[in-house]
Amino acid sequence: MSKARTDFDSPWKDTLEWYFEAFIRLCFPQIHPAIDWSRSCQFLDKELQKVVRDAQIGRRFADKLVQVWLVNGQETWILIHVEVQGKRETNFAHRMYTYNHRIGDRYNHSVLSLAVLCDGNSRWRPTKFKSTILGCKVEFQFLMVKLLDYKEKWEELEQDDNPFATVIMAHLKSLETRGNQRQRQIWKMALTRRLYEQGYQRQDVLNLFHFIDWVMKLPKGLEKAFLQEITEYEQELNMPYITSVERIGLERGRKEGRQEGRQEGRQEGRQEGRQEGRQEGRQEGRQEGRQEGRQEGRQEGRQEEAQRLLLRLLERRFPLPVPSEVQYRLQRLSIEQLEELIDVALTVDSWEQLLASLPE
């Protein structure tokens, strides 16, 4: 899977799982009353992966397969297909039919298929697949929501405390500001502030910011200004939620690690330089001591900070404590390996996947 595809899929999949009921309530209100929300929903990722491999239909998309119970007691599976492409997909309806048919055939379950279209083409609205040959006809119809339609309902979204309203707002503004990064920064800050104004709990703030931050990426200069604005805003509220998340912590950790390394390096360099200088010459000792001290101090500072931030990220990504084996192996990694692993940790779904990604 390409990096671009991963960047789109991961936040959508996470968000759909975190806010499944809110998603159905906002985007498919016609089916929400039929589902028994007092019973837990189960996400069938393994079952879906098997079907996708069997189907052999190319690219993966942001799909979720969910087991729910209806109010009449019937078990039903819901397939959610998020089409994140910015252009029309000619075989989209056929793919919807293929997924539905293969899931139903393999697991002997009725499947309700939902399509979420994220593109900017208002005229592309597939809702059915039809095939006819010599009097034999196959026709399949699925439910569809076009996120672009919510642009006309912006004021309603602003007043809605449904967390998925924030997801849609962030997506719409990411499309609208593609050619204007300064405007994107303004909207990214406005949507982030809204998380606090809506009174969301800390974990909801972090979850929703995860999506906002992913779909509204900024160039380095504007991102730095955005982070400073977030820091000041959270200090005013005395609610340091976002300023402690993994990406910001990493950037800050790199900077602090370099600063601490320089400071420790100067101190150690002076001490070592004096000692060696008395024996072999003060000038040469100071110079070598400073250089070695700075280098070692900077290296150790960055490495310790990267380890600490990666552990914080893993604690937020997974409900269980970080296994001792993972902690032990992280201590053996270089700075470059730790920084690469931070990107991996944002996408894996289990400790097993993370361990498989660790360098030997």
**Is residue 91 included in any domain, yes or no?**
yes
Cβ count near 11 (within 10 Å): 23
Whether residues 204 and 257 share a domain: the answer is no
Measuring CA to CA, which residue among 87, 81, 86, 63 is closest to residue 129? Answer: 81
Whether residues 132 and 263 share a domain: the answer is no
Q: Does the pTM exceed 0.75?
A: no
Domain of 308? 246-357
Whether residues 126 and 227 share a domain: the answer is no
pLDDT score of 35: 97
Whether residues 340 and 350 share a domain: the answer is yes
**Is residue 39 included in any domain, yes or no?**
yes
pLDDT score of 345: 72
Integer Rg of the chain from CA: 25
Size (the chain), residues: 360
**Is residue 333 included in any domain, yes or no?**
yes
Of 351 and 174, the structure prediction assigns the larger pLDDT to 174
Domain end point (choices 224, 244, 264): 244
User: Could you write out the DSSP letters of every residue in 251-297?
Assistant: HHHHHHHHHHHHHHHHHHHHHHHHHHHHHH-HHHHHHHHHHHHHHHH
Whether residues 17 and 145 share a domain: the answer is yes
265 Cβ partners below 8 Å, 6+ apart? 290, 292, 293, 294, 295, 296, 297, 298
Angle between helical axes of 202-215 and 163-176 (0-180°, round to 10): 20
Whether residues 88 and 218 share a domain: the answer is no
**Is residue 99 included in any domain, yes or no?**
yes
Confidence of residue 270 (pLDDT cuts 50, 70, 90): low
Task: Evaluate whether 150 touches 157 at the Cβ level (below 8 Å).
Answer: yes
**Is residue 165 included in any domain, yes or no?**
no
Residue 246 DSSP label: H
| 303 has a pLDDT exceeding 90 | no
Across 187-191, 224-228, 281-285, least confident range: 281-285
Whether residues 227 and 318 share a domain: the answer is no
pLDDT score of 19: 95
Cβ count near 45 (within 10 Å): 15
SS3 content of the chain, % helix, strand, coil (to 5): 65, 10, 25
Question: For residue 319, what are its two tokens?
Answer: 């409900």
Domain end point (choices 218, 244, 270): 244
Whether residues 44 and 123 share a domain: the answer is yes
Total domain count for the chain?
A: 3
Identify the sign of the CA torsion 279, 284, 289, 295. negative
**Is residue 156 included in any domain, yes or no?**
no
Task: Evaluate whether 57 touches 95 at the Cβ level (below 8 Å).
Answer: yes
Measuring CA to CA, which residue among 308, 307, 304 is closest to residue 260? Answer: 304
Whether residues 199 and 264 share a domain: the answer is no
Whether residues 181 and 144 share a domain: the answer is no
| 275 has a pLDDT exceeding 80 | no
CA distance 164 to 116: 13
Whether residues 136 and 239 share a domain: the answer is no
Q: How do strand 143-146 and strand 111-117 relate by DSSP bridges?
A: parallel
Average pLDDT over residues 166-195: 96
Domain end point (choices 197, 226, 244): 244
Confidence of residue 156 (pLDDT cuts 50, 70, 90): very high
**Is residue 266 included in any domain, yes or no?**
yes
| 208 has a pLDDT exceeding 90 | yes
Give CA separation, 44 vs 68, 109, 258, in Å.
11, 13, 45
Per the prediction, the chain carries an average pLDDT of 81
The helix or strand, by DSSP H or E, that contains position 116, with its residue range, turns out to be strand 111-117
Whether residues 133 and 208 share a domain: the answer is no
**Is residue 166 included in any domain, yes or no?**
no
Question: For residue 195, what are its two tokens?
Answer: 């998380």
Over residues 102-130, the pLDDT tens digits come to 999 988 988 999 999 998 888 999 999 99
